[in-house]
Chain A
Amino acid sequence: MTINIENEKQQDAATKVETSRRNFIFGSVAAAGLTVAPAVMLYQTANARSLSDFSLKDGASSKVRLGMLVDTSKQVDWNKSVEACNKEHGLGNEKDSRDDQKTQYIRVVDVKNKGTGYTMSLPVMCQHCEQAPCIDVCPTGASMKRPDGIVLVDSHRCIGCRYCMMACPYKARSFVHEVLTDQTENTPRGKGCVESCNMCVNRIDKGQEPACVKASNGAIVFGDLNDPTSTISALLKEHGGKQIRADLKLNPGVYYQGI
């Protein structure tokens, strides 16, 4: 039986050699197209999106949800990112404030497992929550979220009540206690206002990545969480990522790997 079947198959193959080869060629081309095309499209859309969606004149788009992915397993010196942040925003120019009063946009948190003794450090900045408590409690509307998901303080409206500092579970906000001079052009900051990481809006609006991302040597990835073809989405889909205090259901825009 089996032999007969094989013979039949061979005969079929012999008679249908023309069509099968054509089918094979067409099939292989289609298969190649299927494998190559998504990669090309991914590459093209990733490039096009980074340029087109951060246009200066169109403003922040609500189709975009900007976020960051921090890979703590890469053993990077997070202080480099902190330094880049301080330089970008002109932080650290307080003269009379105590160290715990001085503004910090990124805190480097060292954690230790008491059972195993395993230690690690991770940078904690504003987590840019979707359901941000700081916005809920702000009495003046100064605490706000841009359409693209960046949470920041509108200092024009901030009265310095510091409710948002109380509400933030990540301790991400700081208060300016003294008169400041020599601010940077792009980050106005002054006495009596609360401030926090704004994901470098001034850089993002120009189509650049945040300063900490640039200084992190690839350990922090920045991108659009809503875009399935973006690098950050691909990495999250492949390796997963954790949000800090996900139990609070605030849906932060900052994800961590290796924690």
Chain B
Amino acid sequence: MWLQLNIDFSFNSSFISKKSKEKSLHKLPLAVAGLALIASFNTVNASQSNLGPSITIQETSGEKCVLPSEEMRRQHPDILKHDRIKTLREGVRAKADGGVLDGSLKQCVNCHAIKDDNNKYVRIDNDQHFCVSCHQYAAVSIDCFQCHRDIPEGSGDFHALSNHKDINYNAVVPGTYSLTVQDMANIAPEVHSDDN
């Protein structure tokens, strides 16, 4: 909307500059009225943007979802329902190529799990939970997580000590157990708060 306003405004100003001074003076009240109108639009829009809640969908760790986001928003219930019947009733737990089924809720949770400021996964009772954030906005209550696990299993709740990425293992000499401070500095990576 702001972009739109700026274009309108520049159009007005160029309109004024191209005309003669008299004509521009003649048109001045119109321009002022136009500006006032635009300003009033602006205030209306500002008040509208405060109506209702806004959704903040958090970025997640997975590279690529089953479908593009727009299609996932519409189709994820059907995908989940289709594959839950296949898995539970027929025992099919992988796609023909051996990959994870599209509708695996476990895989959904593993990718879309969100951590809070304390680096712990948020549970289903938290507004930040990926599923909750949208479903609360849409006023759709889901009961998946009355039975299903809402956060990844395993070491998810524990704070990672290191990401094991930048360790120079060559700095450690096999068989030597007396490491100097400098050795330790070489071995230990810097721990960042956002490392998982």
Which chain B residue has the least Cβ–Cβ distance from A190?
B147
Q: Is B27 an interface residue (CB 8 A)?
A: no
Residues of B within 8 A of A190 (CB): 146-147
Which chain A residue has the least Cβ–Cβ distance from B84?
A156
Q: How far is the CA of A190 from the CA of B153 in the complex (A)?
A: 17
Q: Are B90 and A184 in contact (CB under 8 A)?
A: no
Which chain B residue has the least Cβ–Cβ distance from A141?
B89
Closest beta carbon of chain B to A62's beta carbon, Å? 11
Q: Are B90 and A57 in contact (CB under 8 A)?
A: no
Which chain A residue has the least Cβ–Cβ distance from B88?
A154
Residues of A within 8 A of B93 (CB): 56-57, 59, 205-206
Q: Are A183 and B148 in contact (CB under 8 A)?
A: yes
For A188-200 the 0/1 string (1 means CB < 8 A from B) is 1111110000000
Closest beta carbon of chain B to A53's beta carbon, Å? 11
Residue A193 contacts which of B86, B88, B96, B147 (CB distance < 8 angstroms)?
B147
Closest beta carbon of chain B to A93's beta carbon, Å? 12
Among A146, A183, A201: residue with most chain B CB under 10 A: A183
Q: Is A148 an interface residue (CB 8 A)?
A: yes
Q: Are A188 and B147 in contact (CB under 8 A)?
A: yes
Q: Is A147 an interface residue (CB 8 A)?
A: yes
Q: Is A185 an interface residue (CB 8 A)?
A: yes
Q: Is B106 an interface residue (CB 8 A)?
A: yes
Q: Are B106 and A185 in contact (CB under 8 A)?
A: yes
Q: Are B149 and A184 in contact (CB under 8 A)?
A: yes
- Chain A residues touching B, majority SS: loop
Q: How far is the CA of A190 from the CA of B143 in the complex (A)?
A: 10
For B81-102 the 0/1 string (1 means CB < 8 A from A) is 0001010111111111010000
Closest beta carbon of chain A to B2's beta carbon, Å? 46
Q: Is A236 an interface residue (CB 8 A)?
A: no
Q: Chain A: how many interface residues by the 8 Å CB criterion?
A: 29
Q: How far is the CA of A85 from the CA of B148 in the complex (A)?
A: 18
Which chain B residue has the least Cβ–Cβ distance from A58?
B92
Q: Are A183 and B147 in contact (CB under 8 A)?
A: yes
Q: How far is the CA of A156 from the CA of B105 in the complex (A)?
A: 13
**8 Å CB contacts to B: which residues of A24-68?**
56-60
Q: How far is the CA of A155 from the CA of B89 in the complex (A)?
A: 11
Among B88, B91, B93, B98: residue with most chain A CB under 10 A: B91
Q: A56-B98, A57-B95, A156-B84 are in contact. Are A189 and B90 (CB under 8 A)?
A: no
Closest beta carbon of chain B to A95's beta carbon, Å? 16
Closest beta carbon of chain A to B81's beta carbon, Å? 8
Q: Are B147 and A60 in contact (CB under 8 A)?
A: no
Q: Are A205 and B89 in contact (CB under 8 A)?
A: no
Q: Are A57 and B149 in contact (CB under 8 A)?
A: no
Residues of B within 8 A of A188 (CB): 147-149
Q: Are B88 and A59 in contact (CB under 8 A)?
A: no
Closest beta carbon of chain A to B72's beta carbon, Å? 21
Closest beta carbon of chain A to B190's beta carbon, Å? 32
Residue A185 contacts which of B88, B89, B146, B153 (CB distance < 8 angstroms)?
B153
For B62-86 the 0/1 string (1 means CB < 8 A from A) is 0000000000000000000000101
Q: Are B92 and A57 in contact (CB under 8 A)?
A: yes
For B114-152 the 0/1 string (1 means CB < 8 A from A) is 000000000100000000000000000000001111001
Which chain A residues have a beta carbon within 8 Å of chain B's beta carbons?
Answer: 56-60, 144, 146-148, 152, 154-156, 179-185, 188-193, 201, 205-206
Sample of 6 more A-B contacts, CB < 8 Å, known A182-B149, A205-B93: A56-B93, A57-B93, A59-B86, A146-B91, A154-B89, A180-B146
Which chain B residues have a beta carbon within 8 Å of chain A's beta carbons?
Answer: 84, 86, 88-96, 98, 106, 123, 146-149, 152-153
